[in-house]
Amino acid sequence: MRVLLAGGAGYVGAHTAIALIEAGHEAVLLDDLTNTSGLVTERIARITGGRAPLVAGSAAHVDDVERAFAEHGPFDSIMHFAAKKAVGESVEKPLDYYANNLDTTYALLRVGIANGIRSFIFSSTGTVYSDPADLPFTEEATRNLVDLSNPYSKSKLMNEVVLADVQKVNPGLNITLLRYFNPVGAHESGLVGEDPKGTPNNLMPFVARVAVGALPEVGIFGDDYDTPDGTGQRDYIHVVDLAEGHVAALEKAQPGLAAYNLGTGIPVSVRELVASFERAVGHELPKSVKPRRAGDLAATYCDPSKAEHELGWKATRTLDDMTRDVWNWQQKNPGGYEG
């Protein structure tokens, strides 16, 4: 199948492009390159021996999406990765998050449906679940917009509502909601990984920058949560496992609306992640405890069994695999793709 990956030059998109090509599909990337590099396409080619053409443009602009269809269509499916994703930043810049994360969906749906796509696979998030008492989160766990703590999560849940309504009036269309739980890791080759611009907002790339000497210390935001070691717990999933989940969703897609958690189901604390990274590096990293960040929750982790039963997919890579691969990427690319 031929797939348009909106935000496809980004972290999860690039790894999914690799997984698609290796599974025998065709991948075309649409990306405005604001938080990645066009060099990712040549890295994908080196890994797979195949091409993933890049259309430079915004998934929020109908004209750019139409150009991707005109130059590389028709497409069987759209995978939508084009979103701003930092919880803390979303609290500070809510308008940026609502505008980008909703406008991209509108443009992709309008053009995709007009051009006869059969499936639309959406990058949602495990932070759409709003009641901590539901842990571990199943796909039926509480999702209440008012109770969500930040605009990032709210924008994702708003998208899910939009997509459900669109599917009702397009009954032949498959819409799959993939609720991610903290993607980390990198391709084992060290050629493709996470390369955020500026200071990273997410924990793993921040720790990697500290390990390579680009940042002074790891900030642990809060050590007084109601968790075993006081630090926040998350369900970290290797980005290659996550990419393979997208391929499974594509290949199993049937008309209708479906939602799946993509995670390991294993809660890992901030201190546990940092300790794993220290094992990969071979020495301790400088770190200090800082105040909690607005919008952060004590713990989020999932029950991923539905994806295993219905998609035949299961995460297999461990936390130490994740930190090892990030360290390999960071050592080989201390300044990112352009460094």
Residues annotated as part of the active site:
152
Residues 6+ apart with CB under 8 A from 15: 187, 192, 239, 240, 242, 243
Round to whole Å and give the CA distance between 214 and 328: 16
Q: Which two tokens stand for residue 278?
A: 């220290």
Question: Are residues 280 and 320 in contact, defined by beta-carbon separation less than 8 angstroms?
Answer: yes
In this structure, how many other beta carbons lie within 10 angstroms of the beta carbon of residue 113? 15
Q: Token pair of 225, please?
A: 């949560």
Between helix 151-168 and helix 94-114 the angle, nearest 10°, is: 20
Report how far residue 178's alpha carbon sits from residue 190's, in angstroms, rounded to the nearest whole number. 26
CB 269 within 8 A of CB 235: no
Phi and psi at residue 177, in whole multiples of 5°? Answer: -100, 115
DSSP 175: E
Residue 124, strand partner residues: 179
Separation CA 177–CA 179 (nearest Å)? 6
Of 69, 255, 60, 258, give the one whose Cα is nearest residue 169: 255
